[in-house]
Amino acid sequence: MIIEMQTAASQDSIRRVIGKIRGLECEAQINAGQEKVVIAVLGRDTGSIATEIFEALPEVERVFRIMQPHKLASRDFQQDKTVVKIGDVEIGGQAVIIIAGPCAVESEEQVLLTARLVKKLGAKILRGGAYKPSTSPFKFQGMGEDGLRILAAAKEETGLKIVTEVLSPRDVELVSECADILQIGARNCQNYDLLEEVGQAGKPILLKRGFGMSITEWLQAADYILRRNNPNLILCERGIKTFEPSTRYTLDISAVPVIKRFSHLPVIVDPSHAAGDRRYVPDMARAAAVIADGLLIEVHPNPMEALKDGPQSLTFSGFTELMADLKRLTAAIGREI
């Protein structure tokens, strides 16, 4: 249920509404918009609460129910689009934000070489996994804390923001010390304990779509983070499993406009994981740049020797060519890198 207050409603009226919500043993989630305050009523059985209870309160403009399964990620709760700000970087604004770097942190030299290049070419955020989930327990699992220290060194030298994945609730505090953005990978998109823990961490979150999830399920996962009073959430489309074997996954580019219709959250696209093959990444990146708020691209100084996802990682020369294309493309449509 959504309670929309009148323009310039008093704090007393807002507190009265919140008190009524809590008196019904429900949660109140507040969205203070540019003109109005909107309050979501959250609970297990809000459908049984009559709207008239709130409509009679002072300075309440209207009360209505959100019909979609996702609540806080819905445009019914927040009409204005969310712009996530990390220092001077804004995700969800006019610019297409480029996030680039290796899939996994392998050495200080590898990360620093990559960070210097992507920064020079216009990337704003460095990606790199210190902790790596693998389908096989015998494959490379990441450098852990040593990887975090390498990412911190790259941040100090280049000034790039850092996004890296967190796999477990117990690691959230440690990873938060290094990362500017906490990434939740596709395998953990429905790990609800982890979602709630990162929601409380006070950091922006990058939530990848699970490769077997519908858009509705993805947005419901987002609600787990948003209900912890963390509005700084970025969605990432990275491909879903279909019957088509030509690429590693099928990039659901249609998810971007669908999300933008039904949700206020920014959406970026990861063409690298969707393709699984660097030959397809540039075309997929160019297509996504027209409508997405950003791109997450894997780059490695020597993909043939990468310990993780080498086939989908762009070479330095390949990333250089792609960035030149993206700058021309975004300029042609009134956007920028």
Hey, what long-range contacts does 304-310 have (CB within 8 A, 24 or more apart)? 306/102, 306/103, 306/104, 306/106, 307/104, 307/106, 307/140, 308/102, 308/103, 308/104, 308/106, 308/129, 308/132, 308/134, 308/139, 308/140, 309/103, 309/104, 309/272, 309/273
Q: Using 50, 70 and 90 to split pLDDT, how confident is the model at 261?
A: very high
Q: What domains can you pick out in the chain, each with its CATH number?
A: 2-64 (3.30.70.1140), 84-332 (3.20.20.70)
pLDDT tens digit sequence for 130-187: 998 877 787 888 899 999 999 999 999 999 999 999 999 999 999 999 999 999 999 9
Q: Using 50, 70 and 90 to split pLDDT, how confident is the model at 4?
A: very high
Would you say residue 47 has pLDDT above 90?
A: no
For the entire predicted model, the pTM comes to 0.93
Would you say residue 45 has pLDDT above 80?
A: no
Burial degree of 81 (CB within 10 A; 0-12, 13-18, 19+): middle
For residues 151 and 180, give the distance between their C-alpha atoms in angstroms, rounded to a whole number.
11
pLDDT tens digit sequence for 309-335: 999 999 999 999 999 999 999 999 999
Query: What per-residue confidence (pLDDT) applies to 137?
Result: 80
Nearest Cα residue to 289 out of 29, 94, 74, 79: 94
Structure tokens at 164: 């890296």
